[in-house]
Structure 1
Amino acid sequence: MSENKTLTDTVALVSGASRGLGRAVARELAAAGAQVIATGRSRRGSATQTAVDDLTLDRTVEMIEEAGGSAEAVTCDHTDPAAVRRLVDDVLARHGRIDVLVNNAWGGHDHHDEASEDPASEDPSGEEVWDEPMTQFRDMLLAGAYSDFVTDMTVLKHAMGPAGRGTIITTTWHTPEPPAWVPYESSKAAKNRLVYALGHHLRDKGIACVAVAPGWMRTELMEVHHDPRELDGRTETPHYAARAVVALAADPDAIRFTGRTMDVAVLARDYGFTDLDGTQPDLNAGRF
């Protein structure tokens, strides 16, 4: 992790921080000096994914503290407006502000037969596109764009809006060509358009709203559900995108990207950060 404490005295709220990209974002923000509020639903004894041990908020916070950072875990279902309001009120009561919001919560694979986190995979059932369960798109919208909307609006109304400052960063996926799994593609598009619309409305208030799109990441679940030979040379670690989040959070001129969906590789070239191995995976790495 980076040793550059560019985010000292920054309060960062990261949703969906129990695993994958959310965990990496929380760790990289803390390494940059931020006070991290790691939220989600997975706690020890009640994790939403069990294919890998300890994909929980508790372990995320432990990893941060072991590296010398500061973080706390708060259980929150970001699809529940009342729960998000309690979360925001609690953070404000203890820390006085929220400087950075990272929307990473995603439960769209919770009830899917193959929770592989492979964004470009087709429905594995082999059925026709019209045989997709009606609940799948609903669940992905609820756990994606709706979750982001609830969190954005609550943080804006009670923290960033009155303060007239802050940065909102949403993790997402850029549509590959040709389009793949219909519910996934459509739900991610909704997240991206939410960023676009919010960017328009918040620009004059000086609050940046940016979407960050990684390539195909080697998350914990990806490494369980895919042969290592399939991942070699086609994937990047979650820390690559997490470092994009840190760069945006530390940039006083991040407003220049507001309303846009930015590929991680483009941001890497702009800000000069690398993946854990010192490389800058190509814009199209891991794409189909």
Structure 2
Amino acid sequence: MTTPTKELSGRIALVAGATRGAGRAIAVQLGAAGATVYVTGRTTRGKASEVGRTTETIEETAELVTAAGGEGIAIPADHLDVEQVRAVVARIDEEHGRLDVLVNDVWGGEHLIVWDTKMWDTELERGLRMLELGVKTHIITSSCALPLLVRNPGGLVVEVTDGTAETNKGFRENFYYDLAKYAPIRMALSLGEDLKGVGCTAVSMTPGWLRSEQMLDHFGVTEENWRDAVAKSEHFAISESPVFVGRAVAALAADPERARWNGRSLSSGELAKVYGFTDADGSRPDAWTYIEEVVKGGAKATADDYR
């Protein structure tokens, strides 16, 4: 089942980094549940970010939110620019006087990763840029937005990352990527401590192997024929569409008992078992369990056994 529509009517959300991938899907699913969703990012119809993709824009994301049943509002913002982020929050405050859901999904560092390279052989500027994009942006956004979010009890902060506290115990193949993706997990833990005294909740959230636009392009497939890529990488069979993590966040935001998750690192596959939602194709891929048990553990099973 999907998250029932209109459960988030009257709720105000900010999805920072909503241009594409998980951020876009989360914004759309919050909209499908009736929320007003402010979407931010650096790629607009008039200007591309350093990622260099011009086919996905924040304006398009806002239109998809509205088409899904919510209200999408696009605001261009570089989340490394404190004044730009403060302006976004000030506008939300002026127009609604509240913020109920903050999703920190800013990243855009895939083009900087050099796999299988020692820390000292990685260009320092490249590594520090990854940390700026994946860590500093989240800190700036939370610092600017939380004073508005904590005005009312029940607020939710979602730190989007890659992996859970359990799966990220091992090295993530690149020094800087490892830091960039473990930091949001610790942010959620720390923010959870700060927020629980004011009746709000913080979690980190990870999709499994995400079929983002960039990932589909990498394999030369589309969402319609994505299974063709399994011939190139057998474990791609456990992948999930961005809709899955979008539904995970929407279900969490609609849960009146979401505080039970405070400080936790969560995955789309884990929450699907709790809330009963599915991916767009009706399956419930549990990618991280598959990776731990089959890819790393050598269990004799197929991806279909984990869908």
Question: What TM-score does the superposition give when structure 1 sets the normalisation length?
Answer: 0.88
CA contact (8 A) 1:10 1:35 kept: yes
Aligned to 1:224: 217
Among 255, 258, 261, the alignment partner of 2:262 is 258
TM alignment of 1:19-168, pairs within 5 A:
19-48=20-49, 49-51=51-53, 54-109=55-110, 112=112, 123-124=114-115, 127-157=117-147, 159-168=148-157
- Distance between the aligned counterparts of 2:124 and 2:245, measured in 1? 31
- Equivalent residues of 1:215, 1:284 under 8 A apart: no
Deviations 1:190-224, CA, capped at 9 Å, x for gaps: 11111111111211211100111111100000011
**Farther-moved stretch of structure 1 (61-70 vs 77-86):** 61-70
Q: Which residue of 1 aligns with 2:280?
A: 276
| Rounded Cα–Cα distance in structure 2 between residues aligned with 1:259 and 1:68 | 30
Letter in 2 for 1:239: V
Greater Cα shift, 136-145 or 61-70: 61-70
CA distance in 1, matches of 2:290, 2:32: 26
- What count of residue pairs does the alignment treat as equivalent? 275
Q: 2:149 & 2:59 partners in 1: Cα distance?
A: 27
- 1:120 aligns with none
Which of the pair is proportionally richer in helix?
2
- Secondary structure of the residue that 1:233 maps to in structure 2? helix
User: Are positions 1:13 and 2:14 aligned together?
Assistant: yes
- Aligned-partner Cα distance in 1 for 2:180–2:66: 34
Pick one of 172, 180, 184 that aligns with 2:173.
180
Please report how far the alpha carbon of residue 176 of structure 1 lies from its aligned counterpart in structure 2 after TM superposition. Answer: 7.1
State the alpha-carbon separation in 2 of the partners of residues 28 and 127 from structure 1.
Answer: 37
CA spacing shift, 1:143–1:264, aligned 2, 3 Å: same
Distance 2:174 2:56 in 1: 25
Deviation at 1:150, TM superposition (A): 1.2
Shift of 1:7: 0.6
Give TM-score, length-normalised by structure 2: 0.83
Q: CA deviation at 1:236?
A: 0.6
Question: Residue 183 and residue 127 in structure 1: after superposition, are their counterparts in 2 closer, same or farther (change >3 A)?
Answer: closer
Residue 195 in structure 1 maps to residue 200 in structure 2: no
Matched residues, percent identical?
36
Distance 1:170 1:10 in 2: 19
Q: 1:61/1:84 Cα in 2 relative to 1: closer, same or farther (>3 Å)?
A: same
Counterpart CA distance in 1 for 2:34 and 2:117 is: 49
In the aligned structure 1, how far is the partner of 2:76 from the partner of 2:46?
Answer: 13
SS in 2 for 1:163: coil
Computed over aligned residues only, the root mean square deviation of the Cα atoms, in angstroms, reads 2.0
- What is the alpha-carbon distance in structure 1 between the residues aligned to residue 154 and residue 277 of structure 2? 25
Aligned residue for 1:162, secondary structure, equals: coil
Q: State which of 227, 239, 250 in structure 1 corresponds to 2:243.
A: 239
SS at match of 2:110: coil
Specify which of 154, 169, 184 is matched with residue 158 of structure 2.
169
C-alpha distance after superposition, 1:261-280 (max 9, x if no partner): 11221111111111111111
Residue 213 (1) aligns with residue 201 (2)? no
Q: Distance in 2 between matches of 1:240 and 1:56?
A: 21
AA aligned opposite 2:158: I
Q: Counterpart of 2:200 in structure 1: which amino acid?
A: I
CA distance in 1, matches of 2:242, 2:140: 25
Deviation, 1:127, is 4.6
Query: How far is the alpha carbon of 1:149 from its aligned partner?
Result: 1.2
Deviation at 1:39, TM superposition (A): 0.6
Question: In the superposition, relative to structure 1, how do residues 154 and 128 fare at CA in structure 2: closer, same or farther (>3 Å)?
Answer: closer
Q: Is the 8 A contact 1:218 1:235 kept in 2?
A: yes
1:199–1:209 CA contact under 8 A, matched in 2: yes
Q: Letter of the aligned partner of 2:151 in structure 1?
A: P
